[in-house]
């Protein structure tokens, strides 16, 4: 997934998909984290189970509602359990305020 900017609204469920650019994911694990700055404690952190040749899922409405308005980085940390090789994939989110009538 390229490092492009996606716009979302607090409280909106948001899909994500991370892969290894066509390479096998066999033997790899994936943990996603959402942070504003590298030194921050993640606002979201969870292990993702693969689906086919990728790690797909959704940020839940509760998770996006917990993100403050502004720029966030959703990072997939991929680790090969046999070789300890690591890869990271990041997508940027511009989080807007929840809409209220």
What structural domains and CATH numbers belong to the chain? 5-96 (2.60.40.10)
User: Look-up: residue for tokens 């090969």?
Assistant: 80
Q: Which tokens sit at 28?
A: 């790899």
Give the integer Cα–Cα distance in Å for 41 and 12: 22
pLDDT at 1 over 50: no
DSSP E strand stretches across the chain: 5-9, 14-18, 28-35, 44-48, 55-59, 70-80, 86-96
pLDDT score of 73? 95
**Cα end-to-end distance, the chain, whole Å:** 34
For residue 3, name the pLDDT band (cuts at 50, 70, 90): low
Largest CA distance in the chain: 52
């Amino acid at each position: 997934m390229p490092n492009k900017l996606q716009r979302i609204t607090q409280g909106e469920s948001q899909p994500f998909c991370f892969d290894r650019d066509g390479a096998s994911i066999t033997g790899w694990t994936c943990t996603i984290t959402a942070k504003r700055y590298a030194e921050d404690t993640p606002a979201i952190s969870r292990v993702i189970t693969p689906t086919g040749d990728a790690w797909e899922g959704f940020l839940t409405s509760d998770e996006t509602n917990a993100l403050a308005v502004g720029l966030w980085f959703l990072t997939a940390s991929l680790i090969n359990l046999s070789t300890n090789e690591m890869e990271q994939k990041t997508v940027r989110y511009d989080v807007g305020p929840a809409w209220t009538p």
